[in-house]
Amino acid sequence: MKTGQKWQLDMGDMKILPGPRPRTTKRPLWIIILVSMVSVFLICAYIYPPSGTAACYIFSSKGCKVITDWLPPIPAREYSDAEIASRIVIREILNTPFVTANTPKIAFLFLTPGSLPFEKLWDKFFHGHEGKFSVYVHASKEKPVHVSRYFSGRETHSNEVIWGKISMVDAERRLLANALHDPDNQHFVLLSDSCVPLHNFDYIYQYLINTNISYVDCFNDPGPHGNGRYSEHMLPEIQMKDFRKGAQWFSMKRQHALIVVADNLYYSKFRDYCKPGVEGHNCIADEHYLPTFFHMTDPGGIANWSITHVDWSERKWHPKSYGAQDVTYELLQNITSIDVSVHVTSDERKEVQRWPCLWNGVQRPCYLFARKFYPEALNNLLNLFSNYSSISA
């Protein structure tokens, strides 16, 4: 950069050099001197090209690529043994296609403190689609009481989950590991007790089985609730420029579920240095680990938005929650018609980032599920389900 600036200064000086134009007969001589100086200059510039990018277009007949090659390469950071091992494992898993001899299934992973208030709704949703899905329940507080046969006996081993702590990520990884046992599970969706489906089963199944990306929410937030939570203890593997943020409610393809379960290197950085209150940061592991991990390992493999809708528009500490009276056909129609994802940075600029929701390159509505609904909303949801779940845009 410095060289480039100096170069421009030199160019500026050049223009001043000739001074006031003499009106005498010596004019041709002045022109000859000037032309030769410029020529010598141009030849020199061609042989010893300046490194500034603006200048290279003017002076190199071969374009800038040649000039960048000509510069000494920037030495790459030396990777640690753990990093080299991690990179090769991740690359091999990502390059392995998984095909199942049977019908591929979607694994629905429920992260809940106890009983699931919307089991009846999910029962309606799953009914008639046996063989195309599997259910896993991680109940972190108390043993759930089930009302649907699709949920009975589907609890995995569980542990206490504290919001914002690594135990949340541990529960997610535990659910993934359990669901990976079934080779027919090709796509994995994380849901909470307050989540509801926005479409019928076939719509969601086609949407997820026919995509080759994962829906992991991920954006760059330079503000206090984004990069402000970064810790330099995460160096050298995780640099601040790679630190990302996103909602935890993911859906991911099998290769991605495997690399999450296989990862120890990046996981341990978040376990040790991303904790609420550590170094004064209020770092929430489940909002940063997966977005950062995927941004570093397979950025083109994630959608960057979550397929689970939540309404933060009130800009409060918690998102909007829907009670019975809020659940109307109009509300569900509104949510299912959104086809642009929105992220807002937490710095003073409050920059709004909008991206179209692209499914295999085509813009489509973003959301398949929504939160947060109060248990009292169940009856309205059940009454409306067959109507709203058939809205297909």
Which residues make up the interface to ligand NAG (CB under 6 A)?
212-213, 295, 299-304, 328-331, 334, 384, 387
SS3 133: strand
Task: Give residue 25's identity as a one-letter amino acid code.
Answer: T
Cα distances from 111 to residues 2, 129, 181, 288, 364, in angstroms, run 54, 22, 18, 18, 27
118 and 196 in contact (C-beta within 8 Å)? yes
Closer CB to ligand NAG, residue 268 or residue 333? 333
| CB 126 to ligand NAG: min, Å | 21
DSSP H helix total and E strand total for the chain: 13, 13
Task: Give residue 180's identity as a one-letter amino acid code.
Answer: L
Peptide bond into 372 cis (omega under 30): yes
| CB 33 to ligand NAG: min, Å | 54
Closer CB to ligand NAG, residue 108 or residue 219? 219
Its sign, for the CA torsion 193, 197, 201, 204, is negative
**Opening angle at CA 366, ends 360 and 369, nearest 5:** 120
| CB 65 to ligand NAG: min, Å | 22
Closer CB to ligand NAG, residue 133 or residue 219? 219
Gap between the Cα atoms of 117 and 193, Å rounded? 7
| CB 344 to ligand NAG: min, Å | 17
Gap between the Cα atoms of 38 and 59, Å rounded? 12
Closer CB to ligand NAG, residue 178 or residue 255? 255
| CB 209 to ligand NAG: min, Å | 13
Gap between the Cα atoms of 256 and 362, Å rounded? 23
| CB 295 to ligand NAG: min, Å | 6
| CB-based burial, 124-152: b 16+ in 10 Å, e otherwise | bbbeebeebbbbbbbbbeeebebebebbe
Closer CB to ligand NAG, residue 268 or residue 353? 353
Gap between the Cα atoms of 53 and 32, Å rounded? 30
Closer CB to ligand NAG, residue 25 or residue 95? 95
| CB 63 to ligand NAG: min, Å | 25
Closer CB to ligand NAG, residue 25 or residue 212? 212
354 and 341 in contact (C-beta within 8 Å)? yes
Closer CB to ligand NAG, residue 133 or residue 249? 249
| CB 337 to ligand NAG: min, Å | 9
